[in-house]
A and B are shown apart, each in its own frame.
Chain A
Amino acid sequence: MKKRTLVQAMLPFMMVAIIILLAGCSNQAMVLDPKGPVGAEQRDLIVISSILCAIILVPVLVLTAWIVWRYRDKEGNKASYKPNWSHSTSLEIVWWAVPIIIIVALAVITIRYTYALEPSKPLKSNKPPVTIQVTSLDWKWLFTYPEQGIATVNYLQIPEDTPIKFELTSDAPMNSFWIPQLGGQIYTMSGMAMTLYLQADEIGHYFGTGANFSGAHFADMTFDVNATSQKDFEAFIAKTKKVPTKLTMESYEALAKPGKSGVQYFSSVPDGLFQKIVTKYTNGQSIHSGHVSSESVKETSKPQSTDKTAPMNHNDHSQMKMTK
């Protein structure tokens, strides 16, 4: 009797919970509603691996419910009772083998996708990629467009249907650059330049955020990603080139100081700013662990004409890794 009153008391809560949960599902969650090839493949992978897991999960849940119900100690329960039955080689082979098969299948899929979705691997496209350099600062994002010579803070505009080559570093504690609808995140770390290819298939505004905690105002490190037509993108470049504020080394130093920021636009960027940010941390460690920075810097410095400051190291191993 008492148990029933408990369940009754819980009912309203559970009803509300279920309704809101269902409402939550019906609005497509960002990750499950991708707008680019990388995000789409990741969504597919999530779906495939969920199904593989469900192959085990659902029978186990059903079996649990059935066993608990069938073998409850209740008068009149005629289920068989075998207190010493504690071993069966054939049964054990079954339940070691089934997870092994599922995990092998999942492992094969994982390996394939891991190489296919390696973030520094260029995306297939007939258009040349647009390079955007991303620097996480305390507590704002700096985006520089080296080919266009402009920069923005906490705002990203990209052309649709064009691969974007993000080069990422940090001039603050590490963060993680994430635009859920375009694809998975990657860390930004000082003294190291990472590469991440993403692409937007559709015109639209996408949510971008810093995902790795970086201190007090980490929660304010969100940004708007505006994917537009090529024409609008060019118009944005032309318009930004006309804004009066220029990013100089001095104004960069000021910007890099801890503090929040709204959206900002700069009509010019100092030569090799990104490489300077990456290499400023490598003094004193280049001898000992140079590969951490140099391999990536080399990778990022290749397509740039403005780059004269970055060290050109020869590191064949890293080259192999990046082109795999």
Chain B
Amino acid sequence: MLDKIKQFASEFFVTGDPLILGAQVSIGLSMIAMIFVLSYFRKWGWLWREWLTSVDHKRIGIMYIICSIMMLFRGGVDALLMRLQLAMPNSQFLQAEHYNQIFTTHGVIMILFMAMPLMFGLFNIVVPLQIGARDVAYPFLNSLSFWMFFWGAMLFNVSFVIGGSPDAGWLSYPPLSELSHSPGVGQNFYIWGIQISGIGSLATGINFIVTILKMRAPGMKLMKMPMFTWSVFSSCIMIIFAFPILTVTLALLFLDRFLGAHFFTLDGGGNPMMYINLIWMWGHPEVYIVVIPAFGIFSEIVSTFSKKKLFGYKSMVFAMLIISLLSFFTWAHHFFTMGSGADVNAFFAISTMLIAIPTGAKVFNWLFTMFRGKIRFSTPMMWTIAFIPCFVIGGMTGVLLSVAPADFQFHNSYFLIAHFHQVLIGGVAFGYFAGLYYWWPKMFGFKLNEHLGKWAFWTWNIGFYVCFMPQYFLGLDGMTRRTYTYDFDMGWGPLNLVSTVGGFLMGVGFIFQVWQIAHSIKFREPDVTGDPWDGRTLEWSIPSPAPIYNFAVLPEVNEADAWWEQKQKQSLSAKQPAKIVYEPIHMPKNSSIPFLMSALWFFAGFGFVFNWMWLTIPALIGVAITMIARSFSYDTDYYIPADEVKRTEAALKGAKV
């Protein structure tokens, strides 16, 4: 009996690696610490009522952002471990298997559990405020989306201490990801972690499309929406077309592994190529899904900090929509070298290059927004300015990669690694950092420390170039991606060492950011204006942090820069605004069902991972029960009385000395 338990434990927990043991111990200790702190300060009820069951889009947004910063830490540690291993030739720091797990989890986490939630966090916080709405269209679904993401991410993350991480690459091509070549549970974690959170992403996409189409303030025609809202809209359109493909693909892979189906195995009539086609039909739009909202953020920031209207609004919208469309015609450029033939390669080479045209036009529009403006160098603007050269260079190397016959030399090499990190860090990460700095006061009511922010900015930026520029040369010198070691006589050592130094410099940048947040919380200076950057869009017209109902009175809109316009008018006419009449506000009630249902999905997924039907079946029954419970709950909303709105507003105005 004892032997059995021991054997089970040795398979269940990942053992034998000092790094992982250290992680296990620190995870255990920090969990104990968390439980202790929450109990000591009696915050369990507060946590449950105010956060875990909240359907308020602003709270959900904040929870997304917290999770994504945690995941940035984890993905970043993965990256630094890889860079340490590659710093020297013939390094013995990591074993091959461990290295393979690390690059797989690094890719999955950074794209799906870092970039996506950071993006959703900003969607949640900003979009309803920008369009003058009181919440998203489906607040309950919004909460469910968040918790599906959260529990999916947790399921994926536990793989590294329990059972073992996936190690077949972030897109898990079969046959490597099939049972025959990856018999462990790692791939099951991959499938279910992504599947559960992917359902949340799809729901978010639907939610925000409806929100943007149906919840805009009176007068806000589509062509008067702020650019960030437009970018969210085009990103969500891509989500609703791309994510179902991912869901189906992973479901088929699961059937292969679980039921012995043969969708992607050659024996039995399947075809691995089908998986590769499907996964990239999702995967390539996915990178545009995460980068388009960054374009929206840059547009807002460039305009605000140049004190000038956004240049070329209409062509910006058009460019974004055309990118959304073109992104679905590029997937085959991921396998130019798989023998598709010249016809197919030529078609996809050109459809890929075409994306450079609208993207280029957007860059010029940003530049000409600054042209004849007054540029202030606050941290959000600094990230935006740094983004332009970084993204333009990364975009150009992307065009080089799209030249099909040249891609035969770039494919799978470090040139490719350098390219996509340049567009994803220079575009997405820089963009979301800029957005985070920009909207931080709206979330929490105080600004982040600018001085530490500039330190973070410079270390990140210098680190970035030191890390990734050498990788272009390594790629041209024949170094392939995912290789865990190389011989001394390849001559790749020095450049890899430089790259590692750059990676750690970015790590220092992250530490500065954490320090910046901690410092700003401790020495916070409340923003009493609600409009610390002299903003242009509606979110700056209300106090920060925004009250639960956002707008006491729904605003009327005539222009894209609605708040700017209002400010101009107010300064022109000295007369007092008419007396405001408050009305009761209709609000959704909190619900514990999203949290519980997603937690049950976690257990169902965990059961599938280990093939424990005794866990999966009850958990799935539980999911069904929560759904039924929700469909029978009629007490889902309430009204905030006009008096209370009036009192809250008076208090908020009182705070505005």
Contacts and interface: CB of A to CB of B under 8 A. Distances in A.
Interface in A20-34: 20-21, 23-25, 27, 29-32
Contact of A118 (B167, B267, B341): B341
A218 interface: yes
A83 interface: yes
A56 B406 contact: no
A215 interface: yes
Contacts of B335: 187
A312 interface: no
Contacts of A238: none
Interface stretch (A125-133, A145-153, A279-287): A279-287
A106 B455 CA distance: 40
Contacts of B100: 213, 215-216
A136 to B, nearest CB: 12
B144 interface: no
A231 interface: no
Counting chain B residues whose Cβ lies within 8 A of the other chain, the interface size class is 35 or more
A249 interface: no
A113 B406 CA distance: 9
A110 B408 CA distance: 13
Interface string B355-399: 011001101110111111111110000000100110011001001
A245 B8 CA distance: 45
A20 B269 contact: no
Contact of B269 (A67, A214, A284): A284
Contacts of A111: 346, 349-350
Contacts of B462: 10, 13-14
A133 to B, nearest CB: 16
A90 to B, nearest CB: 12
Contact of A64 (B389, B481, B486): B389
Interface string A204-240: 0001011111111111001000000000000000000
Contacts of B267: 281, 283-284
Contacts of A218: 96, 482-483
B443 interface: no
A81 B373 contact: yes
A25 B494 contact: no
A32 B413 CA distance: 14
A115 B346 contact: yes
A14 B502 CA distance: 10
Given A85-B308, A176-B411, A219 B476 contact: no
B409 interface: yes
Contacts of A192: 339
Given A17-B501, A53-B399, A57-B393, A211 B357 contact: no
A110 B502 contact: no
A99 B342 contact: no
Interface string B330-351: 0000010111011101100110
A32 B338 CA distance: 23
A115 B271 CA distance: 27
B596 to A, nearest CB: 39
B309 A83 contact: yes
A166 interface: no
B270 A99 contact: no
Interface in B484-536: 484-487, 490-491, 494-495, 497-498, 501-502, 505
A203 interface: no
A176 B338 CA distance: 9
Q: Give the interface SS of chain B, mostly helix, strand, loop or mixed.
A: helix
B309 A24 contact: no
A177 to B, nearest CB: 9
Interface stretch (A71-79, A157-165, A300-308): A71-79
B341 A16 contact: no
B306 interface: yes
B644 interface: no
Nearest to B484: A219
B502 A17 contact: yes
Interface in B199-221: none
A283 B497 CA distance: 48
A207 B478 contact: yes
B478 A68 contact: no
B535 to A, nearest CB: 14
A92 B498 contact: no
Contact of B478 (A30, A107, A173, A324): A30
Contacts of B392: 57, 60-61
B412 A212 contact: yes
Given A110-B403, A321-B341, A71 B495 contact: no
A45 B405 contact: yes
Interface in B295-325: 306-313, 315
A96 B368 CA distance: 14
Contacts of A289: 269, 271
A42 B309 contact: no
A81 B97 contact: no
B548 to A, nearest CB: 34
Contacts of B268: 284-285
B367 A114 contact: no
B237 interface: no
Nearest to B412: A211
A142 B143 CA distance: 54
B466 interface: yes
B371 A67 contact: yes
Nearest to B402: A110
A81 B376 CA distance: 13
Nearest to A258: B181
Nearest to B270: A285
A73 B375 contact: yes
Contacts of A216: 96-97, 100, 167
B440 interface: no
B594 interface: no
Q: Please indicate which of the listed interface residues A2, A110, A178 has the most CB atoms of chain B within 10 Å of its own CB.
A: A110
A174 interface: yes
A284 B353 CA distance: 39
A117 interface: yes
B473 A21 contact: yes
Nearest to B480: A211
B454 interface: yes
Contacts of A176: 337, 411-412
B477 interface: yes
Of A49, A190, A296, A321, which is in contact with the most chain B CB atoms at under 10 Å from its CB?
Answer: A49
B103 to A, nearest CB: 9
A189 B168 CA distance: 16
A60 B373 contact: no
A187 B340 CA distance: 11
A92 B315 CA distance: 8
A57 B390 CA distance: 11
Contacts of A91: 364, 368
B97 to A, nearest CB: 6
Contacts of A84: 308-309
Contacts of A56: 360, 396
A130 B161 CA distance: 52
Nearest to B501: A13
Contact of A219 (B96, B365, B368, B502): B96
A31 B356 contact: no
B480 A210 contact: yes
B176 interface: yes
Nearest 4 pairs between A and B by C-beta?
A184-B408, A29-B476, A86-B309, A95-B364
5 contacts: A2-B451, A21-B473, A185-B412, A189-B272, A283-B267
Interface of B: 96-97, 100, 167-169, 173, 175-176, 181, 266-273, 306-313, 315, 335, 337-339, 341-343, 345-346, 349-350, 353-354, 356-357, 360-361, 363-365, 367-377, 385, 388-389, 392-393, 396, 399-400, 402-409, 411-413, 451, 454-455, 458, 462, 466, 469-470, 473, 475-478, 480-487, 490-491, 494-495, 497-498, 501-502, 505
Given A29-B473, A213-B482, A215-B181, 11 more contacts: A3-B454, A16-B498, A24-B495, A81-B374, A86-B369, A99-B361, A118-B342, A180-B477, A183-B409, A184-B411, A285-B271
